Each structure stands twice: as structure tokens, then as C-alpha cells.
Amino acid sequence: MAATSAVLQSEWTKIRSVRSTVWTLALAFLVTLVLGAVICLVFNSQWDSMSTSDKLTFDPTNTSFFGMTLGQLALIVFGVLVFSSEYSTGMIRTSLAAVPQRGHFYLAKVAVAGLLALVVGMVTSFLTFFVGQALLGPHKAQIGDPGVLRAVFGAGLYMTLLVLLCVGAAAMLRSPMLGLGILMPFFFLVSPILSAVPKVKSVARYFPDQAGQKIMQVVPSSDDHTHYGPWGGILIMAIWVAAALLGGYLVLRNRDA
Amino acid sequence: MIELQGLTKRYGDKTAVDHLTFTVRPGVVTGFLGPNGAGKSTTMRMLLGLDTPTSGDVRIDGKHYAQLSEPLKYIGALLDAKAIHGGRTAYNHLLCLAQSNRIPRRRVDEVLETVGLTAVAKKRSKGFSLGMGQRLGIAGALLGDPEILMFDEPVNGLDPEGIHWIRNLMKGLAAQGRTVFVSSHLMSEMALTADHLIVIGRGRLLADTSMSEFIERNSRSYVRVRTPQREQFKDAGSAAGLTLVESADGSFEVPGADAAALGELAARHQLVLHELSPQRASLEEAFMQLTAESVEYHAGGPGPVPAGGPWQPAGAPGQPAPPLPPGQVQPPVVQPPQPYQGQQGPPVPPSPYQQPYPGQQGQQGPPQQQPPYQPPGQPQWGAGWRDSGKRKGR
């Protein structure tokens, strides 16, 4: 068995030595932060024109994470490319010749991508929260308020899980075109649209992103009838992630490289 | 040592590799030859555990590839030059490979030096030419200082200087006692580098023989005679019991004959000769004849391959090769001059692509064509880090 630390080190070298890593993660950070800040500014300036019910259910924490709807697309690209670039470049043959224990190789890759996403996700979520709250002025939430720390920490966790989901899906699909072509529209269009359609939305709320995003809510929205809480939601997402990672492993183990 | 035992790979109902059994031994360059689509790359991929065999077994020093820990220290492989992430620099590409097998960082600089890529080490490999990519792949193969090296079509895309370099590299590695297994679809290339030859066609083993034996067995020799008195010569030849084959340009080919005897025969009958030259059919021709029935994709029209010429097994020495119909003796494809056809009539200009086969044939080309054999310039190759206590017990 190749030493675990050696393979982890190798995967770290791989991930840090390509430009796409820096670009996608920087983009995810910037888009989430800047878009969240802009939305907070808008709410702050339009506060007086909002209806009373809107004011009552206003969720300052979740509002500051509005930028994640776009920022997560960059995370999807990151997660997909981490794995599928091995296939699209042919590097997979060199990689597996160096580490023929495929489970080992896979775990190292998932661990490195997951850890990097966790660090970037946490930095992004905490910075986005504090910047957003500063711009909300009198309507801001405090990190010590009930459920707020959970929501901010959960946002970082959500970003990490999303990346892992994409890594697993990319390992199953192999081709970056296929991976991006399925995952981007799904998370950007299909899932948000289906979750707004009556009847269908009772199913759509179990989609990984819909369930996972629940953890970022501090004030439940008025039309919320989900049967799971914030941690239940993240657990549902984690199950999706586990399934994707397992599927990716089985494909990698059983198919010719 | 690489051992294949009944190795088979099927894709659906198509058999890519069909019960291959052979052994690749250390100390020599073993050529792995076959036409395109013969299954060479598939075989090499199964060897590296990238593809799972349908049946059969392949072992490296008695172990399956997946059982090797830190396999780059056992076997280095160049599969295809572009099995590299183009966005990564040459240095980082080699570094991540080195780290995964706990090879010290300075080996990366060493192999970059060996393949001559030091100057572009910090450049992203997507800007590399095919030849540079090939060199980077070779650097990756050399990284772990392995005892077994495997190269899939290594001369593809290399310039003459690069081809010369890789030939000498392979010979030098074999001379150090390593196992060198190299695939090609060019017989002429193999004749210059390989000591042992494994030929496959449509996934089946066609020959497993030493290079010199292959040359001896397969180079059909004959004497070409050109005379204005064709009818008289034909009569004289028939009377002497010779087989005369008329070729398309009006000359005769006399298989298995002695040039001196033919000259004397002509003199006895007072015949004018315009040409009397001993010939050897090229190895390329022998190879094409051997693989004729197994070529996957024939070019359209009357091909250069003599149809249905089964390979003559070695069991019949002395038996002259069956005469071929006129027009099929020399393939229309113009082969680059083969220097080991030393007795050929017209002098051929030396070609940078063709070095004489340094075998025991005694038929080597004119001296000016023979470049001095240089072992690759890597005196203490790999010695540095191996003996510095870093080497793990294996």
C-alpha cells in the first residue's frame, strides 16, 4: 500500500498546481461575498417600502447568503474539474499507474478537495455574514443570536458538501462536459424551479441543495412545510453526498481507466 | 521481468488481445511489434492494471501491478505522451508523481536534466510540442529509477535527434541490466533498437524470437539479373534447374542463388548481363508478410502487402522462399534504405533516421554510415538517491 500521507501530499500538489483551482475558488468567494453585500445594501435602503409581513419574516442571516445561488456555480465547476480533468487530460492513466490502489487514490483526492472546500467555504461564509450584517445597519443579526452561528457555520458546511457531491458525480460521469452540463443547470435552474412548483415541490425539497440550504435559514419562511429541521436538511444532503461518492468509487474501481 | 499468461481482453464480441503468453526478460530491449490495432496498447494497459483482463494473468516480478506498493520504483511506463494535465508545469507534474511514491524531490530535477527539459520545467505542459510531451512522459517513467521500463511508441513525434536519443537511452537502460519493453508499428525502428522481438497481430502472438533470428529467417535473399538476352537466359537458367521470377521491370529474380554461379552460368552461355546483384528483401517486407492476415485496417486498392503470405515457420531451413508473383516482390511503398542490406547494388545516401542494426549479422552497412555507439550520458544514473539510505526494503 502506498503510504496515505504520500498520496495526500501528491494530491495536494496536483490541486494547487492548476489554475482552475485558484480561479473557481476565488470566484466562489468573491461572487458570494459581493452579491450578498449588494443585496444587504438594497434591503437596508428599501426597508421602509417593505410590507409588514416581509419585515416580520425578514431573515438577515439568510439574506447575506443570497450570493451563494451564483457563487455555488463556481464551486460546482471546481468540484467537477477536480476529478474529470484527470479523464479529459488522460492524466488518470499516469495517476493510476503511480497509485494503482484505486480506493486509496480516490480517498486522497476526495479528502484534499473536501478539506480545501471546507476552508474556503468557512472563510467565505463567515466573511460574507459579517460584511452583509455591517451593511444591513439597524436590521442586522448578531452572531450570538439564536441559530445564527449554526446558520453561518452551516453555510460553510453546505459549500463543502456541494463540492464533494460534484466530485462524486464527476467520478461517475468522467467527462467534464457531461458533469458540468448536468450539474450546473440542475443546481441553477431545475432544482429552484421545481421547488417552486406545487405538488412537485414536496419531492424537490429533498434535493440536495434544497435540503442543505435549510441550515442557512434562521427565521423560517412563511410557506415552509418541510418535515426536517436545519440539521435534518444537512443530513439529507450528506446522504446524497455519500451516495455520489460511493457511486464514483464503484465506477472508478470497476471500469477500465 | 514481465510475464504474460494467456492474457485476453474482449470488448463485447471483439477480442482485442487473444491469449497472449510471453515473457519479457531483463538486460535486453524487447520490441513489441504489430500493426495498428493489433492490441499492443491494450496489452500494456493491462500490464499497468489500467484495464482489467477478461482472462489470463500478467505479473511484474511475480506480482500483479496493484500489489506493488510505490510501483514507480519497479516499473516506469510511457503510455502516451498526452497522459498529462496540460495546465500543470512539467516540474509539478513530476513532483506529484514523485510524492505519491515517496521519491525524493531532487529526482525530479535529475530526470528533467536527463530528458533535457530543465529549461522549460516551470512551463505549463500544454504549450509543449509532441516531442517535448514525449520527453516529459519519459522523465516520468525514469522517475523512480525502475528496473523495468515500458515505452509505448516512444519515437512518435520526435525529431531525428530525439529518435537517436531515445534509441540510445533504451539501449543504455538495457545494458544496465534493466528490462526494456518497447512497442512500435515500425519494423525498421525495431530493427535498430530491439534485441528481442515479440510480434502480435489481431491480439495473437505471431512471433517471439530474437532479432537476429528474425532477420535471418525472414530476409528472403535473391539475386537480381538484368540481361538483354532474356529468352536465352531463361533457357539457360531452366536448364541449370534455377527458379527464375520475372519482375515487372523486365529483370529476373533468382531466389536462393549464388551471384558468382549465375555470372559463370551467363559466361558459359555468352550472355550479356546488365546487372547482377544479390538482394535481401527488407525486414519491413518480412514484417508485413508476417502480419498480412492480421492487419486490422487495409488501405484501399492493391495494397503493398503480399496477399495470403503466411509466415514461414523456422522449421524449414534451406528451403527457398516461395517465389512471389511479379510485381509483388518489392512493395510499391518506397522504404527508406536499410543499411543492413550491405550488399545492395546502388549506393544509398546515409539517412539520419537509419542507423545500422548493431547485431551479429556481419552484413552491416558501409562504415561511414555507422555512428559510434554511445551509451546515454548518465554516468551515475539514479545512483545518487538510491544508496543514500532512502531506499525502502522491498
Rg (CA), chain A: 19
B99 touches chain A (CB under 8 A): yes
Whether B110 is in a domain gets the answer yes
For residue B91, the distance in angstroms to the closest alpha carbon of chain A comes to 10
Domain identity same for B176 and B269: no
Domain identity same for B49 and B149: yes
Alpha-carbon distances, residue B169 vs A77, B54, B155, B173, B324 (angstroms):
42, 34, 12, 6, 39
Q: How confident is the prediction along chain A (257 residues), in pLDDT tens digits per residue? A: 458 899 999 999 999 999 999 999 999 999 999 999 999 999 999 999 999 888 888 999 999 999 999 999 999 999 999 999 999 999 999 999 999 999 999 999 999 999 999 999 999 999 999 999 999 989 999 999 999 999 999 999 999 999 999 999 999 999 999 999 999 999 999 999 998 898 888 899 999 999 999 999 998 776 667 788 999 999 999 999 999 999 999 999 999 98
Q: Are B272 and B229 contacting, i.e. CB atoms less than 8 angstroms apart?
A: yes
Domain identity same for B254 and B127: no
Domain identity same for B39 and B145: yes
Residue of chain B whose alpha carbon sits nearest to that of A104: B100
For chain A, what is the domain count? Answer: 1
Last residue of a domain, one of B235, B259, B280: B280
Domain identity same for B156 and B198: yes
Distance CA B158, CA B164 (A): 9
Helix, strand or coil for residue B394?
coil
Q: Which long-range contacts (CB under 8 A, 24 or more apart) does B38-42 make?
A: B38/B185, B38/B200, B38/B201, B38/B202, B38/B203, B38/B291, B38/B294, B38/B296, B39/B9, B39/B200, B39/B202, B39/B203, B40/B152, B40/B183, B40/B185, B40/B200, B41/B79, B41/B80, B41/B152, B41/B183, B42/B9, B42/B16, B42/B17, B42/B203
What average pLDDT does the structure give for chain A? 93
Whether B41 is in a domain gets the answer yes
Domain identity same for B48 and B192: yes
Domain identity same for B255 and B164: no
Domain identity same for B37 and B76: yes
| Domain extent for B247 | 221-280
| Domain extent for A245 | 4-34+66-123+149-254
Whether A134 is in a domain gets the answer no
Chain B residues with CB under 8 Å of A2 CB are 69-70, 100-101
Whether A87 is in a domain gets the answer yes
Positions of E strands within B116-184: 148-152, 179-184
Q: What is the ipTM of this complex?
A: 0.91
A53 touches chain B (CB under 8 A): no
For chain B, what is the domain count? Answer: 2
Domain identity same for B60 and B105: yes
- Please name the member of A6, A18, A92 whose beta carbon is closest to the beta carbon of B100: A6
In terms of phi and psi (left: phi > 0; alpha: psi -120 to 50; beta: otherwise), the region of A147 is left
Whether A78 is in a domain gets the answer yes
Q: How confident is the prediction along chain B (394 residues), in pLDDT tens digits per residue? A: 899 999 999 998 899 999 999 999 999 999 999 888 889 999 999 999 999 999 999 999 999 999 998 999 999 999 876 788 999 999 999 999 999 999 999 999 999 999 999 999 999 999 998 889 999 999 999 999 999 999 999 988 788 988 999 999 999 999 999 999 999 888 888 888 999 999 999 899 999 999 888 877 777 788 899 999 988 998 888 888 888 888 888 888 888 788 898 899 999 999 999 999 888 777 777 787 777 766 656 665 444 444 333 343 333 334 444 444 444 443 444 444 444 433 344 444 444 443 344 433 444 434 444 444 444 444 444 444 554 444 444 3
Q: Are A121 and A158 contacting, i.e. CB atoms less than 8 angstroms apart?
A: yes
CATH number of domain containing B19? 3.40.50.300
Q: How many residues does chain A have?
A: 257
